[in-house]
Amino acid sequence: MTAVQLTDEQIKQILQGILVPPQPQIMVDLQMEQMHPEPDLNNIAELIKQDVGLAATMLKVVNAPAYGLRNRINSVNHAVTLLGLKTVVNIINGLSIRGELGDAEIMELNRFWDTAMDVAIVSASVAKQIGFPNPDEAYNLGLFHNAGMPLMHRRFAGYFQIMQEAYAGDHERIIDAENAAFKTNHAVVGYYCARSWNLPAHLCEVIADHHNVRQISQSPGTSRESEKTVLLAILKTAEHMCGNYHAIGQQQVDHEWDDIRDIVLDILGLSTYDLDSMRTAFEDQGINLPHYY
């Protein structure tokens, strides 16, 4: 398919729906790549797929009605190829001029950016290990599942302090602490973000429910073999292995995992021994998991 060139006005309209700030270092790396006499689109795609806002933008654009695609594109690399270098560069440049982040905000958001990429990589790896047919979907879920956090942070003062309380184990669900403080939570906000980015409906639903594992498992008619249930279990395994409870919650114990571990492992058909073996395999592949796991 020939790349479709977007006008400046179309790009402006697209960027109005992308609220998650891109990582400053990723933007620097992308700008450096653009300065090459012949920018490498593959290198650009690999950088984009490391960032929540950038990856979401590319998927939203390529799945827009203007492209007229019969099938939804879920791969960031595929999306970048279809968009073409000129459109991708224009979108990146549009994001780069939307305002710089202050040092304090960058420090706060580092915990979100770091865990998003880690969980995406490990989610895809777990999916491959268990034979899940679409590791790209697991990757996207891992990348986007906490997309509501930076938006909550920008809207509510002291947001990440509340998240530390949420992970401390004093609430039945992590989102209960957010609901009490803000009358909404990052899973709900993330769901609506994912919908606005044209992500597949079942991924949006998993994002909405990714702190409701026990409740979903006990719901009548829930199939533990369904695509959504397996994706949810993959995500929770990756979150635990990547130490979200420590990076985001500043905790030494993963209380949520302790509550849902048996449910998740049953869905995936895994044991704790299998997780230890996966950890070793991931490290052999160069995926560095935290030592507090």
- The residue-averaged pLDDT of 239-255 equals 93
Q: Compute the distance between CA of residue 198 and CA of residue 63 in angstroms, rounded to an integer.
A: 7
Let me know: does 144 contact 207? Beta carbons within 8 Å.
yes
Question: Is 48 a residue whose pLDDT tops 60?
Answer: yes
Burial of 90 (0-12, 13-18, 19+ CB in 10 A): middle
pLDDT in tens, 137-176: 999 999 999 989 988 888 888 999 999 999 999 999 999 9
pLDDT in tens, 59-109: 888 887 655 667 888 889 999 998 888 888 877 776 664 455 666 777 778
Give the relative orientation of helices 103-130 and 227-242 as an angle to the nearest 10 degrees: 130
Let me know: does 272 contact 240? Beta carbons within 8 Å.
no
**To which CATH superfamily is domain 103-284 assigned?**
Hypothetical protein af1432 (1.10.3210.10)
250-275 b/e (C-beta count within 10 Å ≥ 16 → b):
ebeebbbbeebbebbbebbebeeeeb
| CA atoms in the 13 A half-sphere facing the CB of 228 | 17
Q: Which is more confident, 46 or 117?
A: 46
Residues of the chain with CATH 1.10.3210.10: 103-284
pLDDT at site 293? 46
